[in-house]
Amino acid sequence: MAIGVGLGLAQFPFSDADAFWRWVDLCEADGIDSLWQTDRVLSSQPFLDCMSVMAALAGRTRRLKFGMNVASVAQRDPVVLAKECATIDVLSNGRLLPAFGVGSKANPYWRVTGQPFKGAGAKAEEGMEIIARLWREEKVTFLGEHYRITDATISPRPKQQPLPLWIGGSSKAAIRRTGRLGTGWQAGNETPAELKPVIAAIKQAAADHGRKIPADHYGAGFHFRFGSWEDEATRRVADAYRERSDGRDPRDHLAVGGAADIIRRIDQYIEAGISKFILRPIGASDEDFINQTRLLAAEVIPEVESRKAP
Helix (H) or strand (E) holding 255: strand 255-257
- Each residue's pLDDT tens digit, 22-51: 999 999 999 899 999 999 998 889 999 999
- Each residue's pLDDT tens digit, 107-153: 888 889 988 889 999 999 999 999 999 999 999 999 999 999 999 99
- Each residue's pLDDT tens digit, 154-182: 999 999 999 999 999 999 999 999 999 99
**Domain-located, residue 296:** yes
- Each residue's pLDDT tens digit, 191-228: 999 999 999 999 999 999 999 999 999 999 999 999 99
Amino acid 104: pLDDT: 81
Contact (CB, 8 A) for 169 and 188: yes
Residue, of 53 and 43, whose pLDDT is higher: 53
Contact (CB, 8 A) for 278 and 8: yes
**Domain-located, residue 56:** no
Residue 310 pLDDT grade (very low, low, confident, very high; cuts 50, 70, 90): low
Residue 309 pLDDT grade (very low, low, confident, very high; cuts 50, 70, 90): low
Query: pTM of whole model > 0.75?
Result: yes
Q: Is the pLDDT of residue 245 over 80?
A: yes
At 298, which CATH number? 3.20.20.30
**Domain-located, residue 161:** no
**Domain-located, residue 272:** yes
Rounded to whole angstroms, the maximal C-alpha distance in the chain is 58
Q: Is the pLDDT of residue 287 over 80?
A: yes
Average pLDDT, the chain: 94
From CA 87, how far away is CA 143, in angstroms rounded?
Answer: 25
Amino acid 77: pLDDT: 96
Q: Which residues contact 233 (CB under 8 A, 6 or more apart)?
A: 225, 227, 282, 283, 284, 288
Q: Is the pLDDT of residue 183 over 70?
A: yes
Boundaries of domain holding 190: 1-32+169-310
Amino acid 107: pLDDT: 84
Q: Is the pLDDT of residue 277 over 80?
A: yes
From CA 231, how far away is CA 298, in angstroms rounded?
Answer: 22
**Domain-located, residue 305:** yes
Mean pLDDT lowest for which of 83-87, 258-262, 303-307?
A: 303-307
User: For the chain, what is the domain count?
Assistant: 1
**Domain-located, residue 57:** no
**Domain-located, residue 216:** yes
**Domain-located, residue 223:** yes
